[in-house]
């Protein structure tokens, strides 16, 4: 992190004073009640942030003055703002130690106790961009299909490519959409396996290069030699195609196998309110209702709701 703007109060760390890494995080304060038979009840009491600490080295003509200034801040014991990247904390210097090797080189260790975390909570995460690699592999598959020259395979590749290009966003695709792409991909892989077996059989059936034997007719020897060369060429393209189509299938499985739901707590209100907060669309309340097997949009008391990550639109009409 040498290029990081790291501030503690009005003090900016620079050069070798900035660490390669800063440990963050902590624990959840809790009381665990253990009962006979292994049952337990846990009461959570909130965050318990670990101290933020790192090592560095003051260097240069002002090294001693900088070290002494931080030590003065430690002695004062006042809350100080700590900022770097998108992180912002109020901290107190719990421990600051420095070793004077030379007036211009002073290693130090600092430990900060977190008073409050002002960092904006991360309530969501960016979805992976599956579309780019999938479409890139699909284009590679079509190019390999042209080299192989099998009409049936080429038709299947066109179908697969068309299905892929009809999906505007794989990250937000519903399972039904993923399945509509998975079907032609599986068909391509099956055809590739069939052709690979045929090509392998052609290669293995010839005991000599081109089947050239003294008593074989010239035309027959030439045909076998041509077939063997073609088989070797197709074999390489088929294995490459199998690899590319396999990656498409793996990426589709990752999308379909990812976390499809999440859980949120809701108090008074309605499923319309929850849908508007979670999706920005109150009509998606039907997806929440179906996931929780309820028909009444009214919420009574504290309720934990299952929220589908990729809801299918029903226009706000709940189908029973």
- pLDDT-derived band at 13 (thresholds 50, 70, 90) equals very high
Whether residue 1 is contained in a domain is answered as no
The reply to whether 74 and 144 lie within a common domain is no
Note the pTM of the prediction, 2 decimals. Answer: 0.49
Is residue 170 scored above 60 in pLDDT? Answer: yes
Q: What is the pLDDT of residues 77-112, one digit of tens each?
A: 999 999 999 999 999 999 999 999 999 999 999 999
On average, the pLDDT of the chain sits at 84
The reply to whether 161 and 175 lie within a common domain is yes
* pLDDT (0 to 100) of residue 64: 96
Number of domains in the chain: 3
The reply to whether 143 and 237 lie within a common domain is yes
- pLDDT-derived band at 224 (thresholds 50, 70, 90) equals low
* pLDDT (0 to 100) of residue 127: 58
Count of Cβ atoms closer than 10 Å to residue 175 Cβ:
14
Is residue 263 scored above 90 in pLDDT? Answer: no
The reply to whether 101 and 208 lie within a common domain is no
Please give the residue range of the domain that contains residue 75: 6-117
Whether residue 319 is contained in a domain is answered as no
Distance CA 186, CA 252 (A): 11
Whether residue 125 is contained in a domain is answered as no
Whether residue 122 is contained in a domain is answered as no
* pLDDT (0 to 100) of residue 202: 74
**Which CATH number fits the domain that encloses residue 75?**
2.40.30
Whether residue 314 is contained in a domain is answered as no
User: Which residues 6+ apart lie within 8 Å of 156 measured at CB?
Assistant: 184, 187, 188, 191
Query: Which of 231, 256, 281 corresponds to the end of one domain?
Result: 256
The reply to whether 112 and 10 lie within a common domain is yes
Whether residue 268 is contained in a domain is answered as yes
Burial call 133-164: b when 16+ CB within 10 Å, e when fewer: ebbebbebbbebbeebebeebeebbeebbebb
DSSP-derived 3-state class of residue 30: strand
Read off the tokens for 158: 């066109």
Nearest to 92 by CA among 106, 108, 107, 110: 110
Of residues 53 and 252, more confidently modeled: 53
The reply to whether 90 and 158 lie within a common domain is no
Q: What is the pLDDT of residues 25-82, one digit of tens each?
A: 999 999 999 988 888 888 888 899 999 999 999 999 999 999 999 999 999 999 999 9
Distance CA 155, CA 181 (A): 15
Is the C-alpha dihedral spanning 166, 171, 176, 181 positive or negative? positive
Distance CA 112, CA 180 (A): 54
């Amino acid at each position: 992190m040498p290029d990081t703007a790291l501030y503690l109060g009005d003090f900016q760390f620079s050069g070798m004073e900035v660490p390669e890494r800063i440990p963050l995080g902590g624990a959840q304060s809790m009381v665990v009640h253990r009962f006979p038979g292994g049952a337990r009840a846990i009461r959570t009491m909130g965050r318990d942030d670990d101290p933020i600490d790192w090592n560095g080295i003051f260097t240069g003509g002002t090294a001693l003055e900088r070290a002494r200034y931080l030590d003065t801040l430690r002695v004062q014991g006042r809350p100080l703002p700590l900022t770097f990247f998108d992180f912002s904390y109020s901290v107190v210097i719990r421990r600051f130690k420095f070793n004077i090797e030379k007036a211009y080189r002073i290693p130090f260790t600092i430990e900060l106790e977190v008073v409050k975390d002002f960092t904006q909570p991360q309530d969501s995460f960016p979805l992976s961009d599956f579309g780019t690699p999938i479409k890139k592999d699909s284009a590679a598959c079509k190019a390999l299909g042209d080299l192989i020259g099998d009409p049936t395979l080429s038709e299947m590749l066109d179908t697969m490519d068309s299905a892929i290009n009809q999906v505007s966003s794989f990250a937000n695709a519903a399972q039904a959409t993923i399945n509509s792409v998975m079907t032609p991909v599986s068909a391509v892989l099956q055809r590739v396996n069939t052709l690979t077996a045929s090509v392998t059989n052609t290669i293995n059936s010839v005991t000599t290069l081109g089947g050239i034997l003294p008593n074989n007719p010239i035309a027959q020897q030439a045909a076998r030699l041509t077939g063997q060369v073609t088989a070797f060429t197709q074999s390489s393209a088929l294995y490459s195609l199998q690899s590319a189509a396999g990656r498409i299938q793996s990426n589709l499985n990752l999308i379909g196998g990812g976390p499809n739901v999440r859980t949120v707590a809701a108090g008074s209100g309605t499923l319309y309110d929850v849908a508007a907060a979670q999706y920005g669309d109150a009509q998606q309340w039907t997806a929440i209702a179906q996931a929780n097997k309820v028909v009444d949009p009214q919420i009574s008391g504290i309720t934990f709701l299952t929220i589908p990550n990729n809801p299918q639109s029903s226009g706000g009409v709940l189908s029973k």
